[in-house]
Each structure stands twice: as C-alpha cells, then as structure tokens.
C-alpha cells in the first residue's frame, strides 16, 4: 500500500486508469478508509473535472461532512476536495507519475 500526505491528509491506494469513455483519466484514492474518484480531462495535459465520493455504505464524509449514499461513483461531489482539485492533481502528478504514465 502506497501512502503520501496531501494538506495533512494521508492519501492512500492511488490507482490511475485511462478512461475508455472520454479523453482523460479516472484516479481512485482513499483517505481515512473512505474512497474518492478524481476525474481528469485531456490525457496529454490533464486538468481536474470533478472529485466524487465512492462509498459502499451510507456514511458521513470525513472531509466535507455531507451524508453520502452508497454508489460505485456517487453523483455527489466532495466539496472539500473540489475546492482543492487543482492542488490534488498536481500532487498526484508529482508523487504518482509512474502510475500516470503507465495508464496512457
């Protein structure tokens, strides 16, 4: 299990996959046992599109304090990570560069 810190948070289980439905990537990660999905556009020069919850049980998000219902990829954005999406993508590109390159 790979782990690094972002804004004081322990980011874990980062998995980068090229999207098969649009030009971009789907980046899955977890923080404190809760799963999130960062979707990026443009494979060659990525930009963040959204960060959504990926919870398997109804629970409160530890980051944005919203009640989230179970779904593979929720339609509910995480406001905490949404506000930090550019910084989070830069962090992932820096610390998980190999994973990002292999997904192309």
pLDDT in tens, 50-93: 999 999 999 999 999 999 998 876 678 999 999 999 999 999 99
* Predicted pLDDT of residue 82: 96
Position of tokens 């809760």?
34
Q: Contact, 31 vs 12, CB < 8 A?
A: yes
* Predicted pLDDT of residue 45: 85
Bridge partners of 26, per DSSP, are 17, 39
27-55: pLDDT as tens digits? 999 999 999 999 999 878 889 999 999 99
Domains of the chain by residue range = 3-102
Task: Tell me how far apart the alpha carbons of residues 89 and 45 are, in angstroms, rounded to a whole number.
Answer: 11
């Amino acid at each position: 299990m790979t782990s690094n810190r972002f804004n004081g948070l322990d980011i874990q289980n980062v998995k980068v996959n090229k999207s098969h439905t649009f030009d971009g990537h789907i980046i899955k990660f977890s923080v404190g046992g809760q799963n999130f999905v960062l979707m990026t556009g443009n494979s060659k020069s990525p930009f963040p599109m959204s960060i959504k919850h990926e919870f398997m049980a109804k629970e409160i998000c530890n980051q944005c304090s919203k009640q989230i219902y179970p779904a593979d990829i929720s339609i509910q954005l995480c406001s905490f990570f949404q506000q930090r999406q550019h910084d989070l993508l830069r962090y992932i590109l820096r610390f998980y560069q190999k994973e990002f390159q292999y997904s192309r």
